[in-house]
Chains A and B, each alone.
Chain A
């Protein structure tokens, strides 16, 4: 179990992280910036799996990429193992980045198609549980593998530097169910063996609820609710989380009333004032437009950003 003693430094600490993508600016257009990540504070403890859910465009992938400094933060700090990643550059950043690796949804996109697997990963194969007899695979190219095997190669590649922290961005969403469970089991085994810490980004609430210790829900660039997985799924406090969970197929059959939100997700270039969800929320009141709700600890270890949640 993780301990929450005050003063203990988490493996990863993000403060006030913003990643904005500049809009077009010329004589004819002045598009406002796209606020992909808009003020996120987050701590991830060593050895835990933090799940991040949200719908497309909520900024969950950008957040993951920003941790790798694959996106440049506009503002905010990223502390990894006591070091400020945001202030690093060049050789020092490369060295720190060895401890942080990423697994992608489509492994083909991160595997060089012209490289044999031997060059892509080397020893990582053994770590990812590919038996010796199958190391002949080392001399094959990525396209020669099935989706599940490719994801194993992607994981092996990520493990080759012996990282402590892995950002997994939709690692199983492109896989068939029977293959998906193999990869999920593999990720759990590797975590137990190497003490890995995961940031598990996915839109599938089932997988996230299964694999994560804690789950954060993102909406329009912000974390709107964060709690231990079981607590979050049993007692969602923020209306958006309630919408999301009720939308899972078959939840209705299990007695959770489906809440269909009004309208569509607003543009992240022009988010609503105050609470970003207020335009679709059935509990919205004037206060929600005036003041942005901060994450509050409403129950032990259960944080929600809503003025009216209790």
Chain B
């Protein structure tokens, strides 16, 4: 099993191509009920021009990961460990002012609910123009022209007139186009989309996904719970559970041949016409409370293949095919894992 790593594997490319490099990220919330490690030891690299999907259910830590990258963790939460390098520059510990200059220009985040990102009392045009001018030194007229151009880029019908509209005049799909236009206003190096289509109807979702695919060259971190969206959009996938990375590989590896019991269970749970007449796979139990995470593998209480060793947290190890997996079944104690490299214990 000591073969060469296939080209498709998520091997770390040359350092200069990396837009984002997250190492052992740990974000904790200090609540009156105790300390919650919402993100615990998350590691991944995102090379230039790729789309990485961060998948998981509620409470998996996927959104907290994106907020940590954006420097938007509010007390009682705090990034308590690890490193986030953006184009080689360390973001953890950056002063709020420095972070603010990066945010909106080089790093942009689009939320699920566009209404929460748009100011209801300002016209679309005003908000677009402000977003453009805050980070660049151009005049109002020029910014207005760029704004119309951006709306046209996100396929907004009748962009000149839409500049005069208020957010409530637009449908959900059009509003999300506006937030993507604002995010793209300064051609960010990294676009983070947090469940961008979850609140939208399926035909509108298709339009937005199409739009994101057309933003070629943009590096995208896509946070979603929808495996279908991942299959359509992503180059690589990180599966999270209980604040930890369970499995990380190419989209084909994760969605066609998942190896972690959790990824396998998740994929087998998705209903479709092809599964008619067969019983759906159900992962038993429910996500444990973040205050009462089991000491070892967070998935072990729900895992059909859990054994004694799972009371200890398995390290994430690289497999011969390039994927990374945190499971004792794929762990260093099994013969196939000799080729595996231990990353962090």
Contacts and interface: CB of A to CB of B under 8 A. Distances in A.
Interface of A: 55-56, 146, 148-149, 176-182, 184-185, 188, 203, 205-207, 209-211, 229-230, 233, 243-244, 246-250, 252-253, 258, 260-261, 263-264
Contacts of B157: 263
Nearest to A245: B202
A231 to B, nearest CB: 10
B271 A244 contact: no
B201 A203 contact: yes
A209 B272 contact: yes
Contact of B228 (A244, A248, A260, A261): A248
Interface of B: 57-58, 157, 171, 173-174, 201-207, 209-210, 225-229, 231-232, 265-266, 269-273, 275-276, 279-284, 286-287, 302
B276 A229 contact: yes
Given A176-B57, A248-B202, A261-B203, 16 more contacts: A55-B203, A148-B286, A149-B286, A177-B225, A177-B227, A177-B266, A178-B266, A180-B271, A184-B271, A206-B228, A206-B273, A249-B206, A250-B231, A253-B232, A260-B207, A260-B210
A177 B272 contact: no
A185 B287 CA distance: 18
Nearest to B197: A249
A178 B271 contact: no
A252 B286 contact: no
23 contacts: A56-B201, A149-B286, A176-B57, A177-B227, A178-B269, A178-B282, A179-B286, A180-B271, A181-B269, A184-B280, A203-B202, A206-B228, A209-B272, A209-B273, A229-B276, A248-B228, A249-B229, A250-B228, A250-B232, A252-B232, A253-B232, A258-B210, A261-B203
Nearest to A148: B286
Contact of B225 (A176, A182, A185): A176
A211 B286 contact: no
Nearest to B232: A249
Contacts of B174: 264
Contacts of B280: 181, 184-185, 210
A248 B206 CA distance: 7
Contacts of A261: 203
Contacts of B286: 146, 148-149, 178-179
A159 B266 CA distance: 29
A263 B279 CA distance: 39
B279 A185 contact: yes
Contact of A209 (B229, B271, B282): B271
A243 B269 CA distance: 25
A182 B273 contact: no
B115 to A, nearest CB: 15
B271 A181 contact: yes
Contact of B270 (A203, A206, A258, A264): A206
Contact of A264 (B171, B271, B272, B282): B171
Contacts of A180: 269, 271
Contacts of B207: 260
Contact of A243 (B203, B225, B302): B203
B240 to A, nearest CB: 13
B269 A177 contact: yes
Contacts of B232: 249-250, 252-253
B273 A230 contact: yes
A233 B272 CA distance: 10
Contacts of A244: 202-203
A290 B23 CA distance: 64
Contacts of A205: 202
Contacts of B171: 264
Q: Which A-B residue pairs are the 6 nearest by beta carbons? A: A249-B228, A210-B271, A209-B273, A176-B57, A247-B206, A55-B201
Contacts of A184: 271, 280
A197 to B, nearest CB: 18
A134 to B, nearest CB: 12
Nearest to A178: B283
Contacts of A211: 271
Contact of B206 (A181, A207, A260): A260
Contacts of A178: 57, 265-266, 269, 282-283, 286-287, 302
Contact of B276 (A182, A203, A209): A209
A149 B285 CA distance: 10
Contacts of B283: 178, 181-182
A176 B227 CA distance: 12
Contacts of B270: 177, 181, 206
A249 B202 CA distance: 8
Contacts of B284: 182
A34 to B, nearest CB: 16
Most B CB contacts (10 A, CB to CB) among A176, A184, A258 go to A176
Most A CB contacts (10 A, CB to CB) among B209, B265, B273 go to B273
B276 A207 contact: no
A247 B229 CA distance: 11
A253 B231 contact: yes
A56 B281 CA distance: 29
A302 B57 CA distance: 37
A250 B267 CA distance: 14
B68 to A, nearest CB: 22
A180 B281 CA distance: 10
A87 B227 CA distance: 47
A184 B280 CA distance: 8
